[in-house]
Amino acid sequence: MKKADVVVLGGLSGITAGISCRRHYPDKKVILIRKEGTVLIPCGIPYIYGTVGGPENNVIPDGLLENNGIELIKGEAVDVDREKKVVTMKDGQEIGYEKLVFATGSVPLIPPIPGIDKENVFPVKKEFDYLSEVHSQMDEVKDLVIIGGGFIGMEFADECRKGRDINVTVVEALPHCLQMAMDNEFCDEAQAKLEETGVNILVNEKVEAILGNGKVTGVKLSGGQELKADMVILGIGAVPSTNLAKNAGLEMGFKNTIKVDRYMQTYNDPDVYACGDCAEKQSFFDGRPTGVMLASIATAEARIAGANLFSPTHQNCGAISVFSTVINGRAFGVAGLTERMATQIGARIVIGTAEAPDTHPGGMPNSCLTKVKLLFSKDTGVIMGGSISGGKPVGEMINVLSACIMHRMTADDIVKFQMGTHPALTSSPIVYPIVNAACKAIIPLKKSA
């Protein structure tokens, strides 16, 4: 029987967990088992249909595994015997392990809409051949309906029209697109940017049925309207892929995830770890379980899991939830809580907002107005979250906020932040908007003290 010190089951976070393990324990043999022949960059999937031109340009190279001395076995693991410490493959092969990592990720949520199984209705699976098929189908499409105005839906809508003359409609059940992720003013901005491209957005509308005889021809909305559609893309969320773990008798947690502690160790087997979308997450803020699924969280957890396998010492501080997106050239990012989330948990907050061009002077080429909104606890002054919209630098500005949140900086700390600035790269040091938003929160914070 084949045997390794560590067996990892899964894709993106599996690669990261394997690399982390090899860095911390270079003498350990690591095998990665995965079903997919090719692993796609998950967040790059919408871009397959526009900017990057096809799934073959959105692949995580297996060289990453080779370079880190990780053996890859392509195939489906169908059983885990935790007593014997053996993984059984679909073809009957058995692979023994000392430590096992579940990094089995998630699969798209398929809602129980009548007609959901019609031809040309595509949930966004992270599978190469499947997405290739969607890609080639799309060139024949005239009317595309996207169900769900979250990140995936909005990014798909933005990308699918690049180089294609098709009608795209996004159908969102809530009053705003991206509402689960961002505050209303940013949702409105993102929605307006997407509408500028010619995409049609319908909010407060549910899809009641998918119409057509075999192949989709339209969708019926809760408001009674019928939309023509020769393709439907489903972007309404994902569910953890945890059947194998459940069958192996591992304790399950929130919303069908694998229950793990701060070391990413499963509750009932010290030799089994889990990370990424399949693992239970706790919020950095209140410690409660959270259903958030992000590549940033998955890879951070994978690094922790890999480091802990032979000595659980590295603790997960919980999911901060940091992400960014681009809609029609404008970038949006959030780190930590939004105002909506803070209000929902009843937190007393103080908000500081600031705007500034992301160059100085503002007349530099490609200058873009950046908007920053920061949330601080009224009681402690500690930053609870931040939202930013602007140009390309937003992707890293949101990471500045992530670092501030991770270390529980107060508004006073952020006021004193020493940011490097440069005319072509950042806002001016006088109006640098992260610092200025903190400055503006100082007066109301003082008044409440």
Q: Which is nearer to a copy of itself, 131 or 326 (CB)?
A: 326
Q: Which is nearer to a copy of itself, 37 or 423 (CB)?
A: 423
Q: Report the site for a copy of itself in 326-345 (rule: CB under 8 A).
A: 326, 331, 333, 335
What whole-number distance in Å separates Cα of residue 382 and Cα of residue 90?
51
Interface map 18-37 toward a copy of itself (x if CB under 8 A)? -xx--xx-x-----------
By CB under 8 A, tell whether 363 contacts a copy of itself.
Answer: yes
Q: Report the site for a copy of itself in 111-170 (rule: CB under 8 A).
A: none
By CB under 8 A, tell whether 16 contacts a copy of itself.
Answer: yes
Q: Which is nearer to a copy of itself, 16 or 169 (CB)?
A: 16
Q: Which two tokens stand for residue 87?
A: 């993984």
Q: Which is nearer to a copy of itself, 200 or 328 (CB)?
A: 328
| Residues 69-102: b if buried by 16+ CB within 10 A, e if exposed | ebeebeeebeebebeebbbebeeeeebbbebbbb
By CB under 8 A, tell whether 410 contacts a copy of itself.
Answer: no
Which residues is 333 bridged to in the sheet? 324, 388
By CB under 8 A, tell whether 392 contacts a copy of itself.
Answer: yes
Is residue 239 within 8 Å of residue 256, measured between CB atoms?
A: yes
Q: Which two tokens stand for residue 252?
A: 């399950």
Q: Which is nearer to a copy of itself, 171 or 305 (CB)?
A: 305
Residue 296 backbone phi and psi in degrees, to 5: -65, -40
Q: Which is nearer to a copy of itself, 289 or 395 (CB)?
A: 395
By CB under 8 A, tell whether 406 contacts a copy of itself.
Answer: yes
Q: Which is nearer to a copy of itself, 256 or 421 (CB)?
A: 421
Pick from 28, 36, 64, 267 the residue near a copy of itself by CB under 8 A. 64
By CB under 8 A, tell whether 394 contacts a copy of itself.
Answer: yes
CB atoms within 10 A of CB 363: 9
Is the bond preceding residue 361 a cis peptide, omega within 30 degrees? yes
Q: Which two tokens stand for residue 84?
A: 């014997």
How near is the Cβ of 427 to a copy of itself at its closest, in Å? Answer: 9
By CB under 8 A, tell whether 41 contacts a copy of itself.
Answer: yes
Q: How far is CA 242 from the centre of its chain?
A: 18
| Residues 396-420: b if buried by 16+ CB within 10 A, e if exposed | ebbebbbebbbeebbbeebbeeeee
Pick from 393, 411, 433, 437 the residue near a copy of itself by CB under 8 A. 393
Interface map 288-327 toward a copy of itself (x if CB under 8 A)? ------xxxxxxx--xx--x------x-xx-xxxxxxxx-
DSSP 13-27: HHHHHHHHHHHH-TT
Give the number of residues in contact with a copy of itself, rule: CB under 8 A.
88
How near is the Cβ of 14 to a copy of itself at its closest, in Å? Answer: 10
By CB under 8 A, tell whether 371 contacts a copy of itself.
Answer: no
Q: Report the site for a copy of itself in 195-254 (rule: CB under 8 A).
A: none
By CB under 8 A, tell whether 424 contacts a copy of itself.
Answer: yes
Alpha-carbon distances of 124 from 6, 229, 238, 436, rounded to whole Å: 30, 17, 9, 40
How near is the Cβ of 360 to a copy of itself at its closest, in Å? Answer: 5
Largest CA distance in the chain: 69
Q: Which helix (H) or strand (E) holds 154?
A: helix 151-160
122-130, 209-217, 251-259, 358-366 -> range binding a copy of itself (CB under 8 A): 358-366
